[in-house]
Structure 1
Amino acid sequence: MRMAATPIPQAGVALAIFSFGNLASTLLPDSWWGPVHAACAVLGLTLLAPVLARHGIAIRNASVRAALTSDYRNPMIAPLATTMPMALIVLGTYLVHFGTPGLLCAQVTWWFGVLCIVTLMAYLAWRFVLCGFSLADVCPAWLVGFVGILVAAVTSGTVGLAWAGHIIYVIGFAIDIIMLVLISSRIAWHGLPTVIKPTLTIYSAPISLLVASYFSTSTRHDPVFTLVLLTCSQLLFAFVAILLPWMLTTPASPAYAAFTFPLVITATALHDALTIFKDAGWHVPSWAYWLQAGETLLAGVMIVVAMAAFRHVYESL
């Protein structure tokens, strides 16, 4: 059964699609909100549902349970499990537009997602840090596992929980820096296996998540502070963009999921930063908006590329 073999990283593509729906809706006229979100919700759920179903199947199927257990013991795969609750959190923001009942459902989904992410973070810390840490086990996927909770901060303003999102933002800021230093050290000393080269794209996500989180959780925005964060974010994106052709030479695999959400959140962060600059009365050059549009387009293209890669993976099962 193909569903029983659905790779966990597929949830990352669903997360990217849901996030792309929110980004696209901010760039298009209000009348486009419904069609864009409906399309992204359907497309994202077709990718997320099999991953969630695999966990359900594992309860009664020993072989699936064994395969899933193996994934959760793999330091390069297990951290990506956080993309499941992350995807649910972002999907929950779609409900806000349906009045008070929708907002309540979005908040419940948000809290449930945060609880799941915190639980997975605790497991990852116990399994791969406390029970025998090895620098060789560290990889870019750890940014997803330990920093991905910032997605809750990014969406907190939308669901009316900015106060809780701000707490996550502060904690996530510290974890973010630690993870970037740790993962950079690992790559410098041990390199990366060829099969996970695409995960270097994740480098563009952490600081971008901080920019978007700051925009969502703060009532007052310091444009200078935002500019510093944005500069770091865009430099990391430039690093990823330069390496992108090289990473695309890797054969299609679940690692292609890394090409999706990091690029979406980078484009989102740039959009949010430009809004802060404009609101502060700064002159924003037109090329900055063209750059943001280009990053959004690139993110959309890479989502399509990743979906094609997963189709290839399914055909090979």
Structure 2
Amino acid sequence: MSAAARGMNIASATPLPQAGVALAALSFGNLAASLLPEAWWVPVHIITAVLGLTLLIPVLARHCIAIRHSTVRASLAVDYRNPMIAPLATTMPMALITLGTYFVRVGALGMLCAQIIWWCGVLCIVAFMAYFAWYFIVRDFRLDTVCPAWLVGFVGILVAAVTSGTVGLGWAGHIIFVVGFIIDIIMLVLISSRIAWHGLPAGIRPTMTICSAPISLLVASYFSTSDVHDPVFMLVLLTCSQLLFAFVAVLIPWMLATPPSPTYAAFTFPLVITATALQDALIVFAQSGWHVPAWAHWLQLGETLLAGIMIVLATVVFARISKRAAFA
């Protein structure tokens, strides 16, 4: 089989959740760079950019190939009609928005590029949200089709709020923060109701990890979009965020008992944003004159390392999926 044919097979069979691992890798680059000395900024971002693009490009290529190839188009259409997979499509523009933040230090041109990417990403996410709302809620809503992936589809836009301060669009990010806050609460209630009444299929147990992300996104969004932070409000959000993380952390061994599959992507970004939220909150507490105990910094470091390990694990899983597709 030629290299071109193998490349076509890989792109055609690339699962949508792979974009979620790309998002996690790119977000991890920003988190790691904030924790390391300034001299590490460039090498860390180069490594995570390469990893992120290696994971993201095949997903984007699959969409491009679908334009001309009916078989790929049909398989993609099946994904977009699946309520457990389709919402994960928003991780593509979310990843691109995060990648855009890598350009802000290049100068005025880099900032302009970052802002253009940011606005394009926001428009794409809004379009996806409108599609999901129409197809899965307005047309045919059933509680048993609701799943943690819906948090990605409807709350993922908060990534735009998290990155808005970096790209100089904090005012727009604040609007998204307010809207996302409302959607966040609605989705958490809806998904909790589904899990309570219907449980989750064994095959998608890892997606429970996504439940740790929404409140953490609110913490990171509030940090990014507000010039003045209320440490008490931040503490309330952080407490909720860390309680959800603790719940997920206890379940990780149980979820890892699920055979490796594209659902392992759920182990990545939620853990990265949880560690990021804790880092942001600790900065706010320190700036407000609060005493921050040493164990809090160690906890943040532990969450960061756990997120990094899960990104490596998920990358290996998707690499094996690509290898099988290449020689199929």
Q: CA deviation at 1:316?
A: 3.6
In structure 2, what residue type is equivalent to 1:122? Answer: A
The equivalent position to 1:33 in structure 2, one of 31, 41, 49, is 41
1:84-136, Cα deviation, whole Å (9 max, x unpaired): 00000000000001000000000000000000000000000000000010001
Pairing of 1:1-317 with structure 2 (within 5 A): 1-317=9-325
Unaligned stretches of 5+ residues in structure 2: 1-8
CA distance in 2, matches of 1:291, 1:28: 16
Would you say the 8 A contact 1:252–1:313 is kept in 2?
no
Q: TM-score, normalised by structure 1?
A: 0.99
CA distance in 1, matches of 2:323, 2:46: 27
CA distance in 2, matches of 1:309, 1:178: 32
CA distance in 1, matches of 2:314, 2:88: 15
Unaligned stretches of 5+ residues in structure 1: none
Q: CA deviation at 1:46?
A: 0.4
1:219-265, Cα deviation, whole Å (9 max, x unpaired): 11000000000000000000000000000010110000000000000
CA distance in 2, matches of 1:316, 1:259: 22
CA distance in 2, matches of 1:131, 1:202: 25
In structure 2, what residue type is equivalent to 1:77? Answer: I
Q: CA deviation at 1:311?
A: 2.0
**Aligned-pair Cα RMSD in Å:** 0.5
State the percentage of identical aligned residues.
74
1:118 aligned counterpart, secondary structure = helix
CA distance in 1, matches of 2:98, 2:125: 13
CA distance in 1, matches of 2:179, 2:57: 30
Q: TM-score, normalised by structure 2?
A: 0.96
In structure 2, what residue type is equivalent to 1:309? Answer: V
Question: In the alignment, which residue of structure 1 is the partner of 2:4?
Answer: none
CA distance in 2, matches of 1:91, 1:154: 13
CA distance in 1, matches of 2:225, 2:323: 43
Would you say the 8 A contact 1:252–1:310 is kept in 2?
no
1:158 aligned counterpart, secondary structure = coil
Work out the number of aligned pairs and report it.
317
2:107 aligned counterpart, secondary structure = helix
Would you say the 8 A contact 1:13–1:257 is kept in 2?
yes
CA distance in 1, matches of 2:299, 2:55: 29
